[in-house]
């Protein structure tokens, strides 16, 4: 699966810096480095998890891929099924339109992502209108089918968002992302706002749709137990950079980066037999305006050495259980693979 | 384990002799009245909080767990009323019936903040943005103790220091907006712990926080329990948190406690279908991709249009005709109680 043709989306040194303005003339005094040089290849048909604490830039990265936030540097290239590679970051707004059909997003908060003044049909028909389904009857049919695909009644399309519960609204959000048949869906904390019993329903629905429609997901979440269940590979982000990227099971079995280790140990597990020692990290995530020198994690890292304070570690390739495993830490005692 | 079915009255007299109980709630009913309709948010809840132990109340949103907490603190909105039941607070040798006290009367104000303290879910809104953090902590000490200004300031600084806030001498004079989320929550705990309360009620204290910060807060709460013998009532929706922190567990659904017992009882031998379903519906870290998660069918019913009898029946796989009648509480063992007709079948399952 890891040959080049299968890469559907290639992020190369992607950067999103937001200016911080101050003073009477609103001069730019600093930059928030929300995403600071991210390289990821997303393979066709995989579920890539993107995990990290709040403020680490995972949502910004998701939005930058869709150009809902303009990247300030680097490239996002999309590889169509016929191997035609397009660099999305260099397109104008108009040129971007046909690619919006391939890339869709499901937002975190189902209460605020649907327009309360529109019926469900009204919200869902917009993308169809834009992409050339001109007959109303046809649109009604497509939307009806979609609602059934997300386990809801066809008749619900004439109701308003306030008539639905959180879980139902999230499913409508998923239906909206699906309605123009995208290839890649960015799920930005799609299950975080839901109750646990409803969360399981939505997770199963996402798995079912992926199988039926051969979708690729970029699944952004802070909940590592969900990523482990759902994802093929997981990328862990810290302060705008990827610190570890590997197969889902390797992240738990053969953790390489001390941050991932601490993150995993901090998750409360609903299993009395599995009590592990929590690694307590000191302090909070530093401000991305003024990140620490060297390795951005070193002020909180329990294993930090002198080298970590001065030299920024690069994302290097290792091998665990025969799988590719990327991590950026000076203190890994494993041979690097080129 | 013996499975004798012993129907017992909700008012357990035997527990009253137990010296370790800090707070005892008996058959509590809190109703809300809006638009000529009545929401029975808490509908007959009984539990005890023991000294030096953590009671976790688990449930989904809307099940009445937060209302139970605000009822104990008498912080309910005006549209609601304690309809029935008792809340007994054991202060040293004294027995105080909290439900009989006036909402904002002198006695209640004396208990609130000094004997029973509460941590709220959202530290962003629970702190007043126009006062310094130090002032807000000192307020509590000023009201409840006889310390002078200098002592209060020293105590406030040492409280912040205990909570692991860096540079407390400087931070004490800062406003909440310059604190991060985790620090605000720690300041809230400092405020709650200012008068060494006997009972600490924490209403989803870490839901708004990151896991690494959550781990810090849990470590703090564990230390409080050990060092001051504080009784903790922790409200949460996360079974992982329960497994990690709880000594005793009460599972709530639609205003009732459906199952209660020690953490071992409830997590290892779940006997109510809802508890079982809750445990089966979350992915567990370390079990990989092949774990089988089972969503609970349907969604929580409308509080104004409740099902007849057992509230969980419409979503339950075991439900039949007998579930049209509300089941009584049954004792499975001395510590383990369940509210279900079918518990024997489920127990064997």
Residue A56 is classified by DSSP as S
Evaluate whether A44 touches A216 at the Cβ level (below 8 Å).
yes
Angle at A262 between CA A260 and CA A268, to 5 degrees: 110
Buried b (16+ CB within 10 A) or exposed e, B57-75: bbbbebbbbbbbbbbbbbb
Beta-carbon separation of A229 and B289 below 8 A: yes
Beta-bridged to residue A28, according to DSSP, are: A21
Taking only the tens place, the pLDDT of each residue in A131-174 is 888 899 999 999 999 999 888 888 899 999 988 888 889 999 99
Query: How many pairs of residues across A and B have Cβ atoms under 8 Å apart?
Result: 135
Q: How many residues does chain B have?
A: 349
Question: What is the reported pLDDT for B79?
Answer: 87
Q: How far apart are CA A52 and CA A99, in angstroms?
A: 28
Q: How far apart are CA B190 and CA B201, in angstroms?
A: 13
DSSP string covering B214-243, please? HHHHHHHHHHHHHHH--EEEEEES-HHHHH
Distance to chain B for A220, nearest Cα, Å: 15
Question: What is the reported pLDDT for B250?
Answer: 95
Nearest to A170 by CA among A142, A194, A153: A194
Angle at B190 between CA B221 and CA B214, to 5 degrees: 40
Q: How far apart are CA B7 and CA A283, in angstroms?
A: 51
Beta-carbon separation of A268 and B180 below 8 A: no
Phi and psi dihedrals of B130, rounded to 5? Answer: -95, 0
Question: What is the reported pLDDT for B1?
Answer: 42
Q: How far apart are CA B80 and CA B259, in angstroms?
A: 26
Question: What is the reported pLDDT for B17?
Answer: 52
Evaluate whether B32 touches B42 at the Cβ level (below 8 Å).
no
* Chain A interface with B: residues with Cβ < 8 Å: 53-54, 165, 167-168, 195-201, 203-204, 222, 224-226, 228-230, 248-249, 252, 262-272, 274-275, 278-281, 283-285
Q: In 10 A of CB B313, how many CB atoms?
A: 22
SS3 content of chain B, % helix, strand, coil (to 5): 35, 25, 40
Taking only the tens place, the pLDDT of each residue in A258-275 is 999 998 888 888 777 776
Q: Which helix (H) or strand (E) holds B156?
A: helix B149-162
pLDDT in tens, chain B (349 residues): 444 444 444 444 444 456 789 999 999 999 999 888 888 999 999 999 999 999 999 988 888 899 999 999 999 888 888 999 999 999 888 889 998 998 889 999 999 989 999 998 888 788 999 999 999 999 999 999 999 999 999 999 999 988 888 889 999 999 999 888 888 888 998 999 888 899 999 998 888 788 888 888 888 888 888 988 999 999 998 888 998 889 999 999 999 999 999 999 999 889 999 999 998 888 888 777 778 888 888 888 888 888 888 999 999 988 888 899 999 999 988 889 999 998 888 776 6
Beta-carbon separation of B215 and A283 below 8 A: no
Which residues of chain A does B281 touch, with a Cβ-Cβ cutoff of 8 Å? 196-197, 199-200
Six token digits for residue B73: 């603190």
For A90, counting Cβ atoms within 10 Å of its Cβ (0-12 exposed, 13-18 middle, 19+ buried), the class is exposed
Distance to chain B for A40, nearest Cα, Å: 22
Residue A2 pLDDT greater than 60, yes or no? no
Residue A195 pLDDT greater than 90, yes or no? no
Beta-carbon separation of A197 and B60 below 8 A: yes
Evaluate whether A288 touches A32 at the Cβ level (below 8 Å).
yes
Residue A267 is classified by DSSP as S
């Amino acid at each position: 699966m890891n040959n080049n043709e299968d890469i559907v989306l290639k992020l190369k040194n992607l950067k999103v810096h937001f200016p911080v303005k101050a003073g009477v003339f609103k001069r730019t005094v600093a930059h928030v480095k929300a995403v600071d040089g991210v390289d990821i290849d997303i393979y066709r048909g995989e579920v890539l998890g993107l995990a990290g604490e709040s403020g680490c830039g995972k949502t910004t990265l998701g939005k930058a891929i869709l150009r809902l936030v303009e990247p300030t540097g680097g490239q996002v290239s999309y590889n169509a099924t016929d191997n035609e590679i397009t660099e999305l970051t260099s397109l104008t707004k108009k040129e971007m339109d046909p690619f919006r059909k391939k890339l869709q997003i499901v937002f975190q908060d189902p209460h605020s992502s649907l327009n309360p003044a529109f019926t469900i049909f009204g919200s869902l028909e917009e993308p169809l209108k834009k992409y050339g389904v001109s007959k109303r009857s046809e649109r009604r049919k497509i939307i009806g089918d979609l609602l059934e695909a997300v386990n809801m009644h066809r008749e619900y399309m004439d109701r308003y968002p306030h008539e639905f519960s959180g879980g139902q609204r999230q499913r409508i959000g998923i239906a909206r992302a699906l309605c123009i048949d995208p290839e890649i869906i960015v799920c930005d904390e799609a299950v975080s706002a839901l109750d646990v019993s409803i969360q399981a329903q939505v997770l199963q629905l996402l798995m079912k749709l992926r199988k039926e429609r051969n979708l690729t997901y970029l699944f952004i979440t802070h909940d590592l137990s969900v990523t482990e269940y759902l994802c093929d590979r997981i990328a862990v982000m810290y302060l705008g950079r990827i610190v570890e990227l590997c197969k889902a099971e390797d992240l738990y079995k053969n953790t390489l980066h001390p941050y991932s280790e601490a993150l995993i140990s901090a998750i409360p597990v609903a299993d009395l037999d599995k009590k592990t020692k929590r690694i307590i990290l000191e302090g909070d995530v530093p401000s991305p305006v003024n990140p620490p020198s060297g390795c951005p994690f070193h002020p909180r890292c329990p294993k930090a050495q002198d080298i970590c304070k001065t030299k920024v570690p690069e994302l290097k390739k290792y091998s665990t259980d025969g799988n590719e495993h990327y991590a950026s830490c000076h203190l890994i005692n494993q041979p690097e693979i080129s | 384990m013996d499975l004798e079915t012993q129907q017992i009255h909700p008012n357990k007299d035997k527990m009253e002799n137990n010296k370790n109980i800090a707070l005892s709630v008996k058959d509590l009913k809190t109703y809300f009245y809006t638009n000529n309709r009545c929401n029975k948010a808490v509908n007959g809840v009984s539990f005890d909080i023991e000294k030096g132990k953590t009671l976790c109340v688990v449930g989904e949103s809307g099940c009445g767990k937060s209302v139970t907490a605000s009822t104990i603190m008498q912080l309910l909105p005006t549209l609601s009323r304690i309809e029935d039941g008792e809340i007994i607070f054991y202060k040293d040798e004294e027995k105080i019936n909290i439900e009989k006290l006036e909402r904002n009367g002198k006695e209640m104000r004396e208990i609130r903040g000094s004997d029973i303290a509460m941590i709220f879910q959202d530290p962003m809104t629970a702190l007043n943005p126009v006062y310094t953090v130090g002032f807000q902590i000192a307020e509590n000490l000023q009201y409840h103790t006889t310390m002078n200004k200098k002592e209060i300031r020293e105590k406030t600084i040492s409280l912040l220091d205990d909570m692991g806030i860096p540079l407390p001498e400087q931070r004490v004079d800062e406003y909440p907006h310059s604190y991060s989320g985790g620090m605000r929550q720690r300041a809230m705990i400092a405020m709650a712990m200012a008068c060494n309360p006997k009972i600490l009620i924490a209403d989803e204290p870490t839901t708004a926080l990151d896991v690494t910060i959550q781990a810090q807060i849990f470590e703090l709460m564990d230390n409080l329990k050990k060092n001051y013998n504080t009784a903790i009532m922790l409200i949460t929706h996360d079974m992982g948190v329960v497994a990690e922190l709880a000594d005793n567990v009460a599972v709530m659904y639609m205003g009732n406690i459906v199952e209660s017992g020690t953490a071992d009882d409830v997590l290892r031998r779940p006997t109510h279908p809802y508890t079982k379903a809750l445990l089966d519906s979350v992915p567990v870290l370390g079990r990989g991709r092949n774990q089988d998660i089972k969503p609970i069918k349907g969604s929580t019913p409308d509080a104004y249009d409740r099902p007849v009898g057992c509230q969980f029946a419409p979503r339950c796989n075991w439900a039949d005709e007998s579930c049209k009648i509300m089941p009584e509480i049954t004792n499975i063992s001395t510590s383990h109680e369940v509210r279900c007709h079918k518990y024997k079948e489920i127990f064997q399952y």
